[in-house]
Amino acid sequence: MSAELRSNFLRTQIQSDLDAGRTREVVTRFPPEPNGFLHIGHAKSITVNFGLAEQFGGRCHLRFDDTNPEKESQEFIDSIQEDVRWLGYEWSGEVRFASSYFEQFYEWALHLIDSGLAYVCDLSAEEARRYRGSLVEPGQNSPFRDRSASESRALFEQMRAGAFAEGEKVLRAKIDMAAPNMNLRDPILYRIRDVAHHQTGTAWTIYPTYDFAHGQEDAIEGITHSICTLEFEDHRPLYEWFIEHLPVPHTPRQIEFARLNTSYTITSKRQLKQLVDAAVVTGWDDPRMPTIAGLRRRGYPAAAIRHFCEEVGTSRSDSMVDVAMLESAVRDHLNKTAPRAMCVLRPLRLTLTNLPNESVLSLPNHPADEAFGQREVTLSQVLFIDRQDFRESANKQFKRLVLGKRVRLRGALVIEAERCETDAEGNVTHVFARCITLAPGTDPEDGVKPKGVIHWVSADHCVPAVVRCYDRLFSQEAPGRCDDVLEAINPESLVVVENAVVEPMLATLVPEEVYQFEREGYFVADRYEYHSETPVFNMTIGLRDNWSSPND
């Protein structure tokens, strides 16, 4: 994949390293924790790390920071690999795992102990919090800080052998309990965890912390530029302390950038998991979720997501990006790439009283691009139109079918409504209209032109379909700030239409094909549930932004 990428401070700094000879080949990495599905924020990190390697002719590794097996699973590992590939990227070499380096981490932990820079501590978690101090008060040294190196080594080896219970002991670095940066106040390097690991099984009963493992993984793999989001800026001094005090084969450089925050969205894995566990959504790949898998199932094109991430830019300042910018990128892309078809979401029977016989019309698949070709659609005496496109009486602003008024059927004839039938509740059940023209595309001879155009399908040549109409999952701009994220759920985020009807060709697609349903929006054949008997479509995006613009 190639792209013209705009300059930003990351590219400037990397170019400076290359020019100065500090770097010969750029090597970056994308290092997700396999404890959930990737979301739109990760898409930004993916485009940054893979994009930098691509621009400078370097390499990008995919590495799983799998140091917390209690929350990790193979399902998440598989989904992350699929997401990266779907976005259009391929990593260098094999997939890498932090767990592959566990033995090396252990040896380096022993090195710190032997150097007097780490010790085994017996403080409970609550005691350790008290000893740590606060942002305005220095911490206190643990009473176990002055243990001899030989005693700490023996205890650490026993920790590995499973001699102690969880929480009974930890291994801590010996740095500075009075450091203004809380991350340097004797951070934990290893915890006891009596849990099997998805890669190493039961080989280990102690696991390194993320902070201890992360920099060393970069050093082992020869990463030149460790690109992180701003929340890791305060961790950089610790990252560099480990690199300085361990016999690592390489010295990476950590650089931070602002993470992607979008309105009407949450990207906290804890909160996303809450939505899944509470069955607010059907799973991590629910089309309303901001996960990459959810966006894919909703029909968002990978190219549009990449374009959005590039347009947002890369900076050092945290900000909130209007999610409408992503939606606009999707609309712009699909307007050019999605063929057109007709779907009636709320069918109302319409009979053309004077249509002499049915005919097959040839309609363009895209009004602005002849390369999309033509499709055949049958015009018959009995049609279905959308219930919202008919009124018995209406003001001049209503540009659709009204008794005594004219409209054009999309790609077909001009008709005029004559009468309608209603049920006992007064609901219109059947409309009767006469054809004013009998040749598609022609205007009435009497000069009275129709005021609008409506879409339709033949009642005898249509296929029933299920259409899921999706909207934003949250009705509040910053749902993450709510005490309970469930309170911000948009009750109209999903409306399922069970009795829609579509053109027959829409039953011959392959999953993930996206079409514009004329006058309705863009819809995708569901990745898992689409089949020819009753096709299932997910609404990708409307034709316009209804959150900032009124309906027509």
Catalytic residue annotation: 33, 259, 269
Which residues are CB-contacts of 16 (< 8 A; sequence separation ≥ 6)?
Answer: none
| Of 435, 413, 407, 411, residue with least CA distance to 362 | 411
| Of 521, 512, 467, residue with least CA distance to 340 | 521
- Residue 167, token pair as written in the block: 């929480």
431 contacts 401 by C-beta, under 8 angstroms: yes
- Between CA 463 and CA 418 the distance in angstroms is 27
Helix ranges, 20-101 (H) = 40-55, 74-86
- Residue 63, token pair as written in the block: 């590495």
Sign of CA dihedral 195, 201, 206, 211: negative
- Name 206's bridge partners: 192
Owner of token pair 């705009």: 6
Which strands make up the sheet holding 170-173, listed edge to edge? 118-121, 170-173, 188-192, 206-208
- Residue 342, token pair as written in the block: 């007709």
Sign of CA dihedral 290, 291, 297, 302: positive
- Between CA 80 and CA 36 the distance in angstroms is 9
Q: What is the DSSP string of 334-374?
A: HHHH--EE-EESSEEEEEETT--S-EEEEEES-TT-GGG-E
